[in-house]
Chain A
Amino acid sequence: MTLHLSIMLWLPAAFGLLGALLPGKLPARVGVLGSLLALAYGITYVVDFDSGKATLQYVTDEDWIKALGIHYKLGLDGLNLFLVLLTTLLWFGATLWANLRDWDHPRTFFLWLGIAETAVLGALLAQDLALFVVFFDLMLVPFFFITVGWGGPDRVRAVTKLVIYTLVGSLLMLTAAVATGVLSAQGSGDPINFTFTALQEMGLSEGSQKWIFLFFAAAFLVKMPAFPLHGWLPDGYSAMPLPALALFSGVLSKVAAYGFLRVSLPLFPDAAADFQDLMLIIAVLTIFYGSAMAFTQTNARLILGYSSIAQLGFITLGIFAIEGVGAQGAILQSVNHGLVTLPAMFIVALLAARAGGSEDIRDMGGIAFKAPVLAVFFVITTFALLAMPGSSNFVGEFLILLGVFKAKMAIAIIASIGVVMASVYALRLFIRAMHNRVGVDVESRDLRFADALVLIPVVLLIVAFGLYPQFALEKSQKTAAVAIAPAREVLGPVSGNYGLEEAKAAEEQPAAQQPAAQPTIPGAVYVDPQTGQQVDPGTAGAIAIDPQTGQPVQQSGATNEVTP
């Protein structure tokens, strides 16, 4: 198996295309095979990944459009490694799930599913801003067609809303991306180059950073979605076919969160620092709004939809703590939430099948009595969703809150209420569906073998991940620290050290970039050239001054030494 990222990237689309040429049930099978192979690649990368390095691995870098300075550059690091694994895993699960029923025009359906996986992987792997934008926008196309072709009754309105919301965001992002490339190049005098590394080196003025940051934030917040840009969610979630919805909610929203870590924080550190409070407040509002909506909804998939809003609020919170632990928590929580979403959506489908086709929890109830195995897996999923201690979600939320505590104590205290709210809506969903009075149309039965095949492995994975989250943490530690370092540098060091190694790693990074402090000259006073205030002799950039004459002194020889 050659470890080349392009192979993994294009494999699902290629298999989708191959399936489109085959008759009968074969397209569905070929689709599963394609996603399985991609998953195999994903696992191989995780195993093979060298967690000791903070730099990109398995890099592919070719000129794509020379005239515009766009590169075809792919790479893996701690930020995207586990999201790539999550993507391949969930896609395999969802494609398998899609195999359980017959679709009209299966060839086109599985073609779009394959293209969608390629688009998402592309957005995660891209190490060039323009390429990232291309794949980020491309993600929408397959979901547009899937919803249009196989969606629920009100799909026209839903899909129009979804597309307009997300593409408005995406187009703003396109402008911002072009501006980033051009303005960076104009500022530094280099030719235009859109690769992340080049952009980061060139840097942008703080004024440009601000509006560009906001444009990017709009695109990401719509995709997540976050309050108040979530208007498309109720319609969109109701209209999408469930396997696609599991992917949309489980993976695509995470790509947006990942975008903050990959693009916004490293490239626009000044703006990120300036808007930290704004973003944290949006995150907290999102948590509360999502939670409140989740425990007032009666449609099971909307409960999950709004819970996903709340979870993404947490993830945003972790990112904009601009703190090593918080960023790591955000990555971990992205993976956790993705892992929970697929089985949760799958269970909604199973519940609907037992409740006469209705996804309304008022029509459910009492399903557990005749379906004990299903109930067990549902309860595990529910516990993971509400971040029970012992689940990996608990670790994720804990790290996020820890990060925010260090950065902004008050916000962390408010946000921790959200953890409690999660248990309310998650348990409400479980109790209303599985216990209570038996619903009128409910005909309960336990899991079929085929259903179990999809559900059980994923739930077991949740358990395994809960027992050993360290696995993901140690691989993402270094890169997470590097990603937030520029913005952290702007903000200054965090107020207290809570004794976590990750935090130290995060703080060492900016220190290493500063010039080494000069040896002190005995008898001289050190001042900051900007402020004129006296500072400690070790401070970088400080000038030594003779206290008698007020003149700066050199440290080159004994002759310059100040006489007491």
Chain B
Amino acid sequence: MTPLLAAAKIDGPEIDWAGLSPLIALIGGSILALLLGLFRARPVREFLVPFVALAAIGTALGLTIWQWDETKDLVAGAMRLDHLTLALTGIFCVAGIATVLLSWRHVAPRESAHGEYYALLLASLAGMVLLVGATDLVALFIGLELLSIPLYVLCATEMRREGSLESGLKYLIIGSVGSATLLFGSAFLYGAAGSTGFADIVKALGDQDIRDSALLLTGVGLLVVGLAFKASVAPFHMWTPDVYEGAPTPVTAFMAVATKAAAIGITIRLFDVALLPVSDIWQPALAILAAITIVVGNVGALGQSSLKRMLAYSGVAQAGYLLAGIVAATRGGVEATVFYLAAYTVMNLAAFAVITAQQGLRPDGDDLGAYRGLGVERPLLAWPLTLAMLGLAGFPLTAGFIGKFALIQASVEGGYTWLGVFIVIGSMISLGYYLKVVATMWMTESPEPAAPAPAGINPGTPPVLAGGSPEADAQGLRWEVACVAVVFGALTLAIGVYPQPLFELASDAAGAIAGLLS
């Protein structure tokens, strides 16, 4: 090596491989799944690939637990490994495992090729881990794009169904607008603070001139909007119902749960850490957004007959509840948000698992009418959905109740009592649609004999590509889907009765955010 070259060599940052290991497991799994998908043998594609995906996520979860008590900066301060990152990674992994189980033997991976489907899923998961660990605006953006781009494709994986393609395209366009806004906001923030690292931004914001600058105000505003797109916060939620309805149900479940957790996670870190010195700028803005979101989401869900659309609007409303915890900007607020995220994950996964199962049984499985008499016909599916709905509505002895209790408590403590009242008003409205589902399941006897319908052709949605056949797609009740439904339904109840362990986890995660009041 010549001296010149040696001098030109840039010292790369020190890499802590152990700290990055969950991320590496996911990316490695993604590549492996993609390569294995090239094999022609059906068992390899249909069994080995999902198994590899499951193993990769399981490994990432294991590594997360292994790293639990570590707190350190990774990659020269671009990422931070702390309890918040790890707790959210845990949520992503749980959601990922459930998604793989729901996708296995589903139509979507079969139509789009298994290797690609699972590789994209794992890449998206990796993006989420990167996003919530980001302590630098550049890392934040890379994480966000790594999360989003695979999802655009995943939405369109049911290639013979028009709705799925439409959903993918819509998500791509609106998602890109969101990303662009966020990037623009980052640039302004960099302009104001002179740095992309969160720690330096906090330092720079100690200066009164910078705090008053128009650059900063614009930057914060655009960041709020960009993240609002991702977390489907009203009024930037318009894409949510269409995309959720069109996407394959396992992908919808994944988006509803993991994407939201990631977006909320980075919102916590960005606002409650980097922008904490200017909390007087963003707190009122976020509080108003949260209130609007709660009302819009809940009112929007009222008239829906498609369960996926309803859950999309309900997801919008829940994003509003979650924001309330961030607005409080207290340790209790972050704790409540993380707790509610976990509860929300559990409840939504139960609900989406039941929808997936029901869609496997009959072509109109997404329609509320298809659930008539489910309580008598298939209690194994009806109970988890009942628990999920009651939980999302915030009935006592479910995870949702405790979560809402904590959020309201945090709002009151943070001086935002009116936001707590909004959470309550939102819950009142939400009863209108959650209970409708429960009542439909348990009230009316099924009009048809309870045959596990090897369903007829659904006239409404003709296949887009040749070769589509609903008869071939219809399956019986898949046991792994029923399993996911039952496990998460039971968890909804279990967390509601004994929330202490999850609270300790959330409390650790909140403890990672230094500098918060009390």
Interface residues in chain A, defined as those with a beta carbon under 8 Å from any beta carbon in chain B = 63-68, 105, 130, 133-135, 137-138, 141, 144-145, 148-149, 155-156, 159-160, 163-164, 167-168, 171-172, 174-175, 178-179, 181-183, 186, 192
* B512 interfacial contact with A, CB 8 Å: no
Q: A130-B405, A163-B431, A167-B428 are in contact. Are A156 and B397 (CB under 8 A)?
A: no
B395 cross-chain contacts in A, Cβ below 8 A: 137-138, 141
User: Given that A164-B431, A171-B427 are known contacts, is A148 also in contact with B442, CB under 8 Å in the complex?
Assistant: yes
Complex CA gap A159/B438 in Å reads: 12
> Main secondary structure on chain A at its contact with chain B?
helix
How far is B396's CA from A556's CA once the two chains are assembled, in angstroms? 59
B76 at the interface (CB under 8 A from A): no
- Asked whether A182 lies within 8 Å of B413 as measured between CB atoms, the reply is yes
Task: Tell me, yes or no, whether B390 is within 8 Å of chain A by CB.
Answer: yes
CA distance A133 to B424 in the complex (A): 14
B123 CB to nearest chain A CB (Å): 35
Known interface pairs A145-B442, A182-B412; A134-B396 also in contact (CB < 8 Å): yes
Asked whether B499 is an interface residue with its Cβ less than 8 Å from the other chain, the reply is yes
The reply to whether the CB of B417 lies closer than 8 angstroms to some CB of chain A is: yes
Among A67, A144, A148, the residue within 8 A (CB) of B503 is A67
Given contacts A65-B499, A138-B395, A138-B396, contact A105 B431 (CB under 8 A): no
Contact partners of A167 in chain B: CB under 8 A: 428, 431
Looking at chain B's contact residues, the main secondary structure is: helix
Question: Within 8 Å CB of B507, what residues of A?
Answer: 67
Q: Which residue of B lies closest to A138 (CB)?
A: B396
B421 CB-CB contact with A under 8 Å: yes
Instruction: Tell whether, in the assembled complex, residue A179 and residue B335 are in contact, meaning their CB atoms are under 8 Å apart.
Output: no
Chain A min CB distance to B510 (Å): 10
Asked if A148 meets B390 with Cβ closer than 8 Å, knowing A66-B500, A171-B428, the reply is no
B439 near A159 with CB under 8 A, answer yes
Within 8 A of A (CB), among B435-461: 435, 438-439, 442-443
Indicate if the CB atoms of B443 and A155 lie closer than 8 Å: yes
Residues in B with CB closer than 8 Å to A159 are: 439
Nearest to B407 among chain A residues (CB) is A178
The answer to whether B409 has its CB under 8 Å from any CB of chain A is yes
Q: Which residue of A lies closest to B393 (CB)?
A: A167
- List the A residue with the shortest CB-CB distance to B497: A64
Most B CB contacts (10 A, CB to CB) among A63, A174, A183 go to: A174
Q: How far is the CB of B432 from chain A (nearest CB, A)?
A: 7
> Which residues on B sit within 8 Å (CB–CB) of A141?
390, 395
A-B pair number, CB within 8 angstroms: 87
A63 neighbours in B (Cβ, 8 Å): 500
Chain A residues near B474 (CB, 8 Å)? none
Q: How far is the CA of A168 from the CA of B421 in the complex (A)?
A: 12
B321 to chain A minimum Cβ distance, whole angstroms, is: 13
Docked pose: A130 CA to B396 CA in angstroms:
10
Q: Given the complex, which residues of A lie within 8 Å of B435, measured CB to CB?
A: 144, 160, 163
How near does chain A come to B442, taking the closest CB pair, in angstroms? 5
Given contacts A65-B402, A135-B396, A183-B412, contact A175 B421 (CB under 8 A): yes
Q: How large is the interface on B (under 10, 10 to 19, 20 to 34, 35 or more residues)?
A: 35 or more
B401 within 8 A of A: yes
Chain A contacts for B503, CB-based, 8 A: 65-68
CA distance A134 to B398 in the complex (A): 10
B406 interface residue (CB < 8 Å to A)? yes
Complex Cα distance, B404 from A186, in Å, reads 20
Contact status of A105 and B376, CB under 8 A, knowing A178-B405, A179-B417, A182-B413 = yes
Nearest A residue to B443, CB-CB = A148
Closest Cβ of chain B to A183, distance in Å, is 7
Query: How long is the Cα–Cα vector from A192 to B428 in the complex, in angstroms?
Result: 26
Subset of 25 A-B contacts with CB under 8 Å: A65-B499, A66-B500, A67-B335, A67-B406, A67-B507, A68-B406, A68-B409, A68-B503, A134-B397, A138-B395, A141-B395, A148-B439, A148-B442, A149-B375, A160-B435, A160-B439, A168-B428, A175-B408, A175-B420, A175-B424, A178-B405, A178-B409, A178-B412, A182-B412, A183-B412
A64 to B405, CA, bound (A): 14
Which residues of A lie under 8 Å from residue B408 when comparing CB positions? 174-175, 178
CB-CB < 8 A to A168: which residues of B? 428
Considering the complex, which residues of chain B in the window 472-518 have a beta carbon less than 8 Å from any beta carbon of chain A?
Answer: 499-500, 503-504, 506-507
CB atoms of B405 and A68 under 8 A apart: yes
Cα–Cα, bound, A172→B428 (Å): 9
> Chain A residues near B417 (CB, 8 Å)?
179
CA distance A134 to B402 in the complex (A): 9
Distance to closest chain B CB from A109 (angstroms): 12
**Identity of the chain B residue whose Cβ is nearest the Cβ of A63 in the assembled complex:** B500
CB distance from A267 to the nearest CB of B (A): 16
Known: A67-B507, A134-B401. 14 other contacts (CB 8 A): A67-B503, A67-B506, A68-B405, A141-B390, A144-B438, A145-B442, A149-B375, A159-B439, A171-B427, A175-B408, A178-B409, A179-B417, A179-B420, A182-B412
Q: Which residue in chain B gives the minimum CB-CB distance to A168?
A: B428
Question: B499: which A residues are within 8 A, CB to CB?
Answer: 65
A68 to B401, CA, bound (A): 13
